Structure 1
Amino acid sequence: MNRLCLLISLLLVGLTQSWAQTTYCNPMDISYRYNFEQLNERISYRSGADPVIINHKGEYYLFVTIQGGWWHSKDLANWQYIVPDKWPMEDMCAPAALSVRDTLYLFQSTFEQRPIFISTQPEQGKLTFYNRWLPRLPKDIGPWDPALFHDDDTDKWYMYWGSSNVYPIFGAELDKSRNLTYAGNNPAQAYKAMFWLDPYQHGWERFGPNHSDPIKPFVEGAWMTKHNGKYYLQYGAPGTEYNVYGNGTYVGKDPLGPFEYAPYNPIAYKPGGFATGTGHGNTFQDNFGNYWNTGTTWIGVNWGMERRIMMHPAGFDKDDQLFATTRFGDWPHRLPTKKWTDREDLFTGWMLLNYKKPVVASSTLTPTAPDSIRAGFVTDENPRAFWVAAQNRPGETLTTDLGALCDVKAVQVDYFDYKLAIFDSDSTVYTQFKILTSPDNKTWTVAADLTREPKRDRACAYVELAKPQRARYVRYEHVYTAGQHLSINAFRVFGNSTGKAPAVPTMTAKRQKDQRNTNLTWTKVPGAMGYNIRWGIAPDKLYQTYQFWHDQPSQFELRALNIGVPYYFAVESFNETGVSALSPVVSATN
């Protein structure tokens, strides 16, 4: 009898414990908070932007604009939302965070006088004042979008900031003996300009979609990383609301410069795919010594500042070139378990199985414009198109047909906020669903069940299946979301189909008289689902990627290059099975 009770108990534990995932997928799966910036306009949406991830005493803390708190994780996958015990000021926009020894430092964007906070127990939400008021700087100078930096070798402290299309990135030394106020006797003279944007020389700093708008671009989101005795002062540009939002760096031998522009910029750049843009973030190291780069991706339907968070593997190559790899950057990647040596090591090779594949919904809201809301939008890889169910009730379904039997290994469900009136992420705001698979659209297996997990809001819910499912059909079965409407902008299925990867395509690159631009042309190959254009400043430094789909044109004007810098290009094709070999590398001829 005792053995029977023990067996039943073990089975119940197994049913209630969630599967320990070994992978993650962008956008990051965190409980994005409902934004109250547009309360008076009655516009409701989840959002997250301007991320900073800090490794503090071997655990990770994520700080994001206007979230009422922060997140804590031990593995970079499972993030617990932390509400501070005493939020001393108004909520923080684009906060600066830094870990030095046993203390975590936190500072908000401001044009006024604001304090620096500290915590020795951030996992418990403990927060207190470190200093009371950082002195006011001249009008419009800031510090907005600040970053704190401690030079371990000299024990000196610095702050960098800037968010403007008028002003540069600024820097200043902080005086530790005076509780990290500005060094010197006159705060108004304690800072100096580090650098300005130069879109006439740096193509990727131009504003607009694919750098096509003549509006003066914005520089923001400073961050400092020290590596091999060099100081990498990073920044975001040209604007958060476009697919080309990226991170760049200047490099110097002193924390306050002078700095030189890195000819390989941008260091993090993701203009194609589902989650485009990855600017205004930070660079940090995990517990294995691997580097990561964070950033912001844009949705911008409910409001221009509706955004999500990205995290990509990064590092320094043998020549100390800083880079982040965004190839398949919004597809499943392995969580780190050791020091990786190749920038592609973390990509799982799990392919997107349902790009523009048929989808059947149990119901669809009848909108004013008949074609503006439909089920097919959840597989088109466009986060600004979405499906809305007729009612937000349990049992509503989306069923996607993969077209053939595949090994299904993970799914991502991205929710959209359609005409909601939620202005606070309280205990009623959470998401639950089930994932079912079938070989024949008749016999169904429950592959994942989020009702067995603790309740939390997962606007970008990524679920790695406990074991691969051999299936042709994959179904989302709704259980719960808060608000009047159930709306989803992406139902993404990952795994591998049988068959072969597509053939190797070829390409040409012709640089324009304006060296910021290059005309690219590539061959389409049978069986391909899409193509990755890869480029860089040397044949073995193809760190940049622009993803295109097979149903898009096979020529493109790339407008992201730096004048006076040679470039090299190659292309690879991919489908539901895998990725082709890389084409021969070509230089951009004039």
Structure 2
Amino acid sequence: MMNKYIVAFASVLMLLFTAEARAQQRTFCNPMNLNYRFWSSSREAADPAMIMYKGNYFLFASRSGGYWYSVDMLDWKYVRTETLPILKYAPGVIAINDTVYYLASSRMKDYIYYTTNPFEDDWKRMDKKLPMDVWDPQFFQDDDGKVYLYWGCSNKETEPIRVVELDENMQPKTEPVICIRHNPDEYGWEVFGAKNETGENGYNEGPWMTKYKGKYYLQYASNGTEFKTYADGVYTADSPIGPFKYETYSPFSYKPGGFIGGAGHSATIQDRYGNYWHVTSLSIGMRGNFERRLGLFPASFDKEGVLRTYTAFGDYPTIIPSGKMNPKKESLFTGWMLLSYNKKASASSFLEQYPVMDAFDENVKTWWSAKTGNKGEWLSVELDDKVTAIKAIQINFADHEALLNPDSTNIYAYRVWASIDGKNWEVVVDKSNNARDACHDYIEFAKPVKAKYIKIENVKDVPGDGKFSVFDLRIFGMQKGKKPKKINEFEVKRDYDNSRKALVKWTLDDSATGYVVNYGTASDKLYTSVMVYGQDSVQLTGLNKRVSYYFSIDAFNEAGITNGTKKIEVE
């Protein structure tokens, strides 16, 4: 009997500890920590649509086998569904009164689905198909109650982004109106290619409408979902059907650098406090073009109505606020710096093409792999002596050689150990009995960890005969020391034969880990950023012709960020 009481007491303590840890969690880290579905040799989720419904955020994505909902955008619950065509691409979703409507992309005339209970797999098909096929659909309801359907996904001039108004039965009541045509000759970021180099049309796709202070912001993606240069631009109008004017600060959502790139085909929503967020597609693209993930970034409109997305340090820990915040005065970046980049590391084993240092290079397109997926494989890193507090870790599992099908899960069971001296170790994360498929697992510590060494150990064989493998083991926190020097001298050379391109160059600082190049169309609106590590230049390929730009450069290391104050204007 006494043993039963002891076990019960221990269980209560564990529940209390877990509840406390969860209650204190206030941050997340991109890529979003979701159960991404397997397709062939890799996972995929992209082309997100997010809505609010009855106090919850609902998140839908391409070919995910289901969808997610959350009350706080931190803890996501998965709803597997068989009553939706969920294995199709790029869904459009809207909540109207107490009903949620869903439309998948299709190259044939298809149905809209609906439910009044999206918390369960309880969707029904509407009686009548749409009279036209749509790809990358998105619904929008205006303040007057009118509902519109936008769609478009093509690199062809004959297939622009269009809109129709819908009637009360969700059927078109108007003829399609053209909203956005291709214009890569003027807008560099619309040119297809990893570096916008082909000269061909990109895929203009993924429309999303947001209304702000009476103005209609029609957002769209280009140039290709497989590229880190995939981004979102915006047109504006005084009517939901246009005519639309291109905003020359586009792309407003752009992330070609950092750990994982791409910030296109997105949804812009307000949270329960009125703060704006932009949920996007992110690209890995190593085991197929559609090896993709989801990212969530703060967004805002400035006082002139310029739409921006905060992607600088966008794959570092970010705060989910508990109230309305002022983006001009407050930042949702935690200030926790990356402590593990390019540090000395070791492992139980490694494959020649997947060395240990690839787990600490801030590049999701490379990874470390052990020789096996067996229990006991491990990966370890030695941090600097000046580290004062480890606040969070992100473990990005790579599923190397895992032979899994779409209905499989790859649940990693592991422990994270910490040590001051490399000899005496303490378990700081124990997921030996993990039941959650989380290939980008993020742990925010309830109390900061003090350690010089961090080690992750596999405690169960990896499913699907896969190898124990990690894209990157990323450790965030605080470190003593001097921040890097301010970047006072740099140059910008714009290619005047092709003014969609410019080279930004500076002198490397040995004390800097990396740099953030900021630029924009006004000296006080440097809203676009590119993060690089260990480079002394950035080739920008997504500029707009006949637009002047202003530039500055921030430098950062483990101790913090030194903001650049010098600005250069280039016509």
Asked if Structure 1 and Structure 2 have the same fold, meaning a TM-score greater than 0.5 normalized by the shorter chain, the answer is yes
**What is aligned with 1:272?**
257
| d(CA) in 1 for partners of 2:10, 2:41 | 45
Q: Decide which of 132, 137, 146 is 2:137's aligned counterpart.
A: 146
Match of 1:512 among 495, 505, 525: 495
Q: Deviations over 1:7-49 (max 9, x none)?
A: 64542323555721211000110000112xxxxxxx3211111
Compared with structure 1, are the counterparts of its residues 390 and 62 closer, same or farther at alpha carbon in structure 2 (3 Å cutoff)?
Answer: same
Which residue of the other structure, out of 154, 157, 165, is the alignment partner of 2:147? 157
Q: Assess, with a 3 A threshold, how the Cα gap between structure 1 residues 12 and 310 changes in structure 2: closer, same or farther.
A: closer
The answer to whether structure 1 residue 502 and structure 2 residue 508 are counterparts is: no
Of 25, 31, 34, the match for 1:30: 34
CA contact (8 A) 2:83 2:121 kept: no
Between the aligned partners of 1:588 and 1:339, the Cα distance in structure 2 is 36
CA displacement at 1:327 relative to structure 2: 0.6
Is the CA contact 1:405–1:470 (under 8 Å) kept in the aligned structure 2? Answer: no
CA contact (8 A) 2:548 2:570 kept: yes
SS in structure 2 opposite 1:377?
A: helix
Whether the 8 Å CA contact 2:85–2:104 is kept in 1: the answer is: no
Q: Which residue of 2 aligns with 1:66?
A: 63
**Is contact 1:538-1:567 (8 Å) kept?**
yes
1:440–1:228 CA distance, 2 compared to 1 (3 A) = same
Q: Structure 1: which amino acid aligns with 2:385? A: A
Q: Is the 8 A contact 1:361 1:398 kept in 2?
A: yes
1:581 alignment partner, one of 563, 566, 570: 563
Distance (Å, rounded) in 2 between the aligned partners of 1:80 and 1:218: 32
Q: In structure 2, how many angstroms separate the alpha carbons of the residues matched to 1:6 and 1:164?
A: 59
**Amino acid in structure 1 at the alignment position of 2:492:** A
- Could you say which residue in structure 1 is the equivalent of 2:74? 77
Match of 2:530 among 535, 546, 556: 546
Distance 2:184 2:487 in 1: 32
Q: Helix, strand or coil: the match of 2:391?
A: strand
- Offset of residue 393 of structure 1: 2.0
Structure 2 Cα separation of the partners of residues 363 and 264 of structure 1 = 48
Offset from partner CA, 1:432-474 (integer Å, 9 cap, x none) = 2221111110111211122365x11111111112211111111
Structure 1 counterpart of 2:454: 474
Look up the match of 1:206.
191
Contact 1:379–1:491 under 8 Å retained in 2: yes
Give the structure 1 partner of residue 385 of structure 2: 404
Structure 1: runs of 5 or more not aligned? 36-42, 185-189
Contact 2:419 / 2:451 at 8 angstroms: preserved in 1? yes
| Residues 90, 494 of structure 1: alpha-carbon distance in 2 compared, 3 angstrom cutoff | closer
CA RMSD of aligned residues (A): 2.0
1:347 lines up with 2:333 in the alignment: yes
Aligned to 1:336: 321
For 2:113, the equivalent position in structure 1 comes to: 117
Equivalent runs, 1:383-532 vs 2, <5 Å: 383-406=364-387, 407-426=389-408, 429-451=410-432, 455-480=435-460, 481-485=462-466, 486-506=468-488, 507-513=490-496, 514-532=498-516
Any conservation in 2 of the 1:16–1:452 contact (CA below 8 Å)? no
Post-superposition offset of 1:88: 4.7
**Equivalent residue, structure 2, for 1:235:** 220
* Cα drift, residue 105 of structure 1: 1.2
State the alpha-carbon separation in 2 of the partners of residues 340 and 131 from structure 1.
44
How far apart in 2 are the matches of 1:577 and 1:562?
A: 35
Q: 1: distance between equivalents of 2:469 and 2:531?
A: 26
- Identity, in percent, stands at 37
Q: Are the aligned partners of 2:190 and 2:196 in contact in 1 as well (CA < 8 Å)? A: yes
Separation in 2 of the partners of 1:392 and 1:518?
45
Letter in 1 for 2:38: Y
**Secondary structure at the residue paired with 1:181?**
coil
Give SS of 2:465's match: coil
Equivalent residue number for residue 315 of structure 1: 300
Which whole-Å CA distance do the structure 2 matches of 1:69 and 1:236 have between them?
24
Partner of 1:281: 266
2:28 partner amino acid: Y
Query: 1:463, 1:274 → 2: CA distance?
Result: 18
1:170 Cα deviation after fit:
1.2
Report the alpha carbon displacement of residue 526 of structure 1 after superposing the two structures with TM. 3.4
Determine if contact 2:347/2:379 at 8 Å carries over to the other structure: yes
Corresponding letter in the other structure for 2:495:
Q
1:357 aligns with 2:343: yes
Tell me the residue number matched to 1:38.
none
Q: Flag the 1:5–1:67 CA change in 2: closer, same or farther, 3 A.
A: closer
The 10-residue stretch of structure 1 (408-417 or 337-346) with the greater mean CA deviation from structure 2: 337-346
Change (3 A) 1:414 1:3: closer
Separation (CA, whole Å) in 1 of partners of 2:368 and 2:538:
30
Q: 2:161 aligns with which of 169, 172, 175?
A: 169
SS of alignment partner, residue 195 of structure 2? helix
Q: Secondary structure at the match of 2:119?
A: helix
Answering whether residue 518 of structure 2 is matched by residue 534 of structure 1, we say yes
How far off its partner does 1:479 sit? Answer: 2.6
Pairing 1:195–2:180 present: yes
Q: Deviations over 1:383-429 (max 9, x none)?
A: 12112222212221100111324111111111123222211334x53
Q: Give the distance between the partners of 1:232 and 1:31, measured in 2 at CA.
A: 31
Query: Normalization by structure 1: what TM-score?
Result: 0.91
Measured against aligned partners, the alpha-carbon deviations of 1:93-126 in whole angstroms (never above 9, x if no partner) come to 1000112222211110012121111121111222
Shift of 1:509: 2.2
Residue segments in structure 2 that go unaligned for 5+ positions in a row: none
CA contact (8 A) 1:504 1:525 kept: no
Give me the whole-angstrom Cα distance separating, in 2, the residues matched to 1:226 and 1:586.
Answer: 33
For the Cα contact (< 8 Å) 1:505–1:524, is it kept in 2?
no
1:378 is displaced (CA, Å) by 0.5
Residues 543, 9 of structure 1: alpha-carbon distance in 2 compared, 3 angstrom cutoff: same
Q: 2:549 aligns with which of 567, 570, 574?
A: 567
Question: Residue 534 of structure 1 contacts residue 546 of structure 1 at CA under 8 Å; is this kept in 2?
Answer: yes
Local SS of the residue matching 2:383: strand
Query: Mean Cα displacement is larger for which, 505-514 or 53-62?
Result: 505-514
**Number of aligned residue pairs:** 559
Contact 1:15 1:452 in 2 (8 A): no
Greater CA drift, 334-343 or 226-235? 334-343
Secondary structure of 1:477's counterpart equals strand
Please tell me whether the aligned partners of residues 105 and 137 of structure 2 are also in contact (alpha carbons under 8 angstroms): yes
2:16 to 14, 17, 21: 14
Q: What's the secondary structure of 1:508's corresponding residue?
A: strand
Query: After the TM superposition, which of the residue ranges 251-260 and 386-395 deviates more from structure 2?
Result: 386-395
Residue 215 of structure 1 deviates from its aligned partner by 2.8
Shift of residue 5 of structure 1?
A: 8.8
Counterpart CA distance in 2 for 1:90 and 1:533 is: 39
Q: Secondary structure at the match of 1:404?
A: coil
TM, length-normalised to structure 2: 0.94
